[in-house]
Amino acid sequence: MTRAMDEWSAAQPADVAELQQQNKTLLAQRHELLQQNLQLQRETSILHLINKLALQLNELMTPADIYPFVAQQVAAALGFEDCAIFVADAKSRTLTRVAAVGSRDLPHHQGLGVLSYGQGIVGQCAVQQQSILVADTRQCQHYLKDVSERLSELAVPVLEQGELLAVIDCEQWDAHFFNDQHQQILEHVASILSSRLRKLQDLAALELSIKKLEYAELVQKALFNIASLSYDADDFNAFYQHIHQNVSSLIYAPNFYIALYDDKDEVLHFPYFVDTTEHISPTTIYPKEILANSLTGYVFRTDEPLLADRALLEEFDRTKVVTAYGSAPESWLGVPFRSGDAVRGVVVVQSYDPGISYDQKDLELLTFVSQHISSALERAFVQQRLRHQALHDALTNLPNRLLFIDRVNHAFKRRFRYPDKLVAVLYLDLDRFKMVNDTLGHQVGDEFLIAVSGALKSCLRQNDTLARLGGDEFAILLEDAKTVPDVIEVAERIAAKLQQPFVLKQHQLQTSTSIGIALADVTTEQMDTDELIRRADIAMYQAKQDGRGIWRQFCSEMDFATTAHYQLETELKAALQQSQFVLYYQPIIDLSSEETLGFEALIRWQHPERGLLSPADFVPLAEELGLLTQIDLYVVQAAVKQLNAWRLDFANPFYVSVNVSGRSFSDADFSHKVLDLLAQAGVQPHYLAIEITESALIDKMAQAKISIDCLREAGVKVLLDDFGTGYSSLSYLHEFQLDVLKIDRSFIAGIRPRIQENPVVNTIITLAKTLSLTVIAEGIETSLQRKLLSELGCDAGQGYWFAKALTAKEASSWLR
């Protein structure tokens, strides 16, 4: 037993040490658990604070309530002596104190109420968009003393998707007060704050959108009413009254007037004038001098809207920029509207009430209204322009054949009063003009024709008439010629003038003209206008046969017309039998995707002697001889045959459009013949399109409807060609179901560099979109034309800018 006790005594120190070590381990574990428990309590407290803050913030609806609340909660919950919030303005790069507790709870004009980005620790936080913890401000170069000096500072940015909304800034008397946990808490608070602010911004944006939508609906309704008036109202006084009513529904407009300027008579008048202090009769006119110094004239002169308050108006008056007429307004708003290339009118609202003024939104609204007024008044101006266009050549602005014939008719009537005078007609055809078009393109060809018309004018007197009859053919009426030598002198002067080269940009062009002369005098009593022009035409062909660049006077031996017609008739019929006609294909390009939508098939006559002839050389005679329908079916058959070949080679969907004459389209069997040709070739109808002109629709409207319905029901597209050169009437467009509207190249050639300067093209495109029609512009020859048409909403186009008319082989290469 004693031995056992000794052994136990020897082992006891080791066991005690082990027990002591175990106790130390238990104490350490207990301390660690206590620390973890304290940390958990702190985190729970922080989560409780953050959760409470988030819940309470959701009840606050404005930043003015949110910012002070957050500052108070942060200071109270975390025991901070000072907390301020600065709101960021990215545009001005400034930070403005909007809330504070502690020593900085002062009016904004006291202390550091506004800071620039980079200024102080708050400004540095804004620039870096990161939290900044400064343990001892005495060691920080960026610290700025505010109300009193603090030794530690913590600044945390409030960010939303990279955008700085605000900075939360806390300061403390003691150094080393703030720690990483404080920073983490504030960053959580900043995140909650940014989320709530963004929700409020989204809510405000939604409310603003709703208000804008309500206002937009009101504006849309008013503008729709005005647009409807532009088509329905023939009484312009009633039209102006309805415009005034609709404008008044949107802005303050008890004082409203419309001023128009007649550039022909150079007078200004006010067809509609309503004012609480002044009155101007619609019949009162003012000389153009009033435009030089009136507010209305200022808008006319500058072609810009004018929004003026009383101070600006007084400055205008002081500097003599304008002179006020009538009662001086407190606020004045005038917007110009155009017709073609010129300012034709001004629409004005004005206020005499110091408490009511106009702003940018009112200016934008009145600008929209002015556009609709312009559209309505454009009808009157368009009628004038259409009359001018109907009687003048679109390219050269010279009288056309119709006006020339009228002038010759009047000359015959005057000859009866002055029998000693001659009526002389000169018929001119440019030599080798086709070469210019074929080698240099239609744009250079057009410029050349304009230059030639100018040269011809320089050879004539003011009372002579120069007309362009079409293509490169011109005609001249000499009314006051007394002798044949007088007429011959003019012809020789013209021939010599056109022998001189023309320099157009980088091109030097040489031409000459063949001139035919026909005279009516006392020995030709039975002659009429048509016969005189016909004789001049015959003499011109004789001049071409005799060597070109010379003149010939008609004589009885020149019995050219009958034989020429007979010969051409025989050749035309032979051309149909011998398949001398060929098709060229001009691509139609989608202006958005640049994809080839299809081709327009253009007929050419491969004459065995005269070479390749354009439709202008044979279609008029073919129509006269009743051969157009046969030619049209020939073209359709050739196009369908080519489509069948392409369909096997190319998978991409595209169509080929064929021009059809009015005579063919009015044939009751024509549409069925077209469908039979498609069926025989096994070509799906949607690969074919038929182009018709406005006259084809109007001449036999009932049959046109039947033909269109038949073709479209089968899947053939129907395109309205050369829109704008014929009737251009809303009424008939509503009568037909069409697929595509093509704008005539004459409008594209005259397109202006600014979108608002092209009201006719814009109106045509808008009209087409209203009727769900695709719009194709013809004759696009410049990048500017292509760009503007795309911006105006035009869907597709064709012309030399993309490609000339291609042979079938070239078109196949184009598709590849």
Please, are residues 471 and 616 in contact by the beta-carbon 8 Å criterion? yes
Please, are residues 691 and 658 in contact by the beta-carbon 8 Å criterion? yes
pLDDT digits (tens, 9 = 90+) for 38-73: 665 555 656 666 767 767 777 787 888 889 988 988
pLDDT band at 233 (very low <50, low <70, confident <90, very high): very low
pLDDT band at 517 (very low <50, low <70, confident <90, very high): very high
pLDDT number for residue 577: 87
Kindly report whether the global pTM for this prediction surpasses the value 0.85.
no
For residue 81, which of 192, 174, 200 has the smallest C-alpha distance?
A: 174
pLDDT band at 414 (very low <50, low <70, confident <90, very high): confident
User: Mean pLDDT over residues 457-478, rounded?
Assistant: 90
Please, are residues 67 and 87 in contact by the beta-carbon 8 Å criterion? yes
DSSP one-letter string for 237-278: HHHHHHHHHHHHTTS--SSEEEEEEETTTTEEEEEEEE-SS-
**Of all helices (H) and strands (E), which one includes residue 445?**
helix 442-458
Cα gap 814→816, rounded to integer Å: 5
Residue 337 is classified by DSSP as E
Q: Which residues pair with 777 in a beta bridge?
A: 743, 797
Instruction: Tell me the three state secondary structure of residue 759.
Output: helix
For residue 730, pLDDT over 70 is answered with no
User: Mean pLDDT over residues 236-244, rounded?
Assistant: 80
For residue 372, which of 251, 232, 510 has the smallest C-alpha distance?
A: 232
| Pairing verdict, β 82-89 and 163-172 | antiparallel
Sheet holding 132-134, edge to edge: 114-116, 94-101, 82-89, 163-172, 152-160, 132-134
Residues 640-647: contacts with CB within 8 Å, 24+ apart? 640/677, 640/678, 640/681, 640/683, 640/688, 641/681, 642/583, 642/585, 642/601, 642/808, 643/681, 643/683, 643/687, 643/688, 644/681, 644/682, 644/683, 646/812, 646/815, 647/683, 647/687
What is the CB neighbour count within 10 angstroms for residue 562? 8
For residue 158, which of 114, 98, 105, 82 has the smallest C-alpha distance?
A: 98
The identity of residue 246, as a single letter, is N
User: Mean pLDDT over residues 777-788, rounded?
Assistant: 91
**Of all helices (H) and strands (E), which one includes residue 576?**
helix 560-577
For residue 658, pLDDT over 70 is answered with yes
Q: 180, exposed or middle or buried, with CB in 10 Å at 0-12, 13-18, 19+?
A: exposed
Write phi, then psi, for 395 (nearest 5 degrees).
-80, -50
Across 340-352, b (16+ Cβ under 10 Å) vs e yields: beebbbbbbbbbe
Cα gap 332→371, rounded to integer Å: 19
Please, are residues 79 and 158 in contact by the beta-carbon 8 Å criterion? no
Instruction: Tell me the three state secondary structure of residue 476.
Output: strand
For residue 157, pLDDT over 90 is answered with yes
pLDDT number for residue 603: 93
pLDDT digits (tens, 9 = 90+) for 185-216: 888 889 888 888 888 887 777 667 666 666 66
pLDDT digits (tens, 9 = 90+) for 690-725: 998 877 777 678 888 888 899 999 999 999 887 766
Cα gap 575→699, rounded to integer Å: 29
Residues 223-226: contacts with CB within 8 Å, 24+ apart? 223/368, 223/369, 223/372, 226/369, 226/372, 226/373, 226/376
Cα gap 808→258, rounded to integer Å: 57
For residue 401, pLDDT over 60 is answered with yes
Please, are residues 260 and 296 in contact by the beta-carbon 8 Å criterion? no
Please, are residues 357 and 307 in contact by the beta-carbon 8 Å criterion? no
Please, are residues 764 and 743 in contact by the beta-carbon 8 Å criterion? yes
pLDDT digits (tens, 9 = 90+) for 300-356: 888 899 999 988 988 888 887 787 677 889 999 999 987 767 788 899 999 999 999
pLDDT band at 490 (very low <50, low <70, confident <90, very high): very high
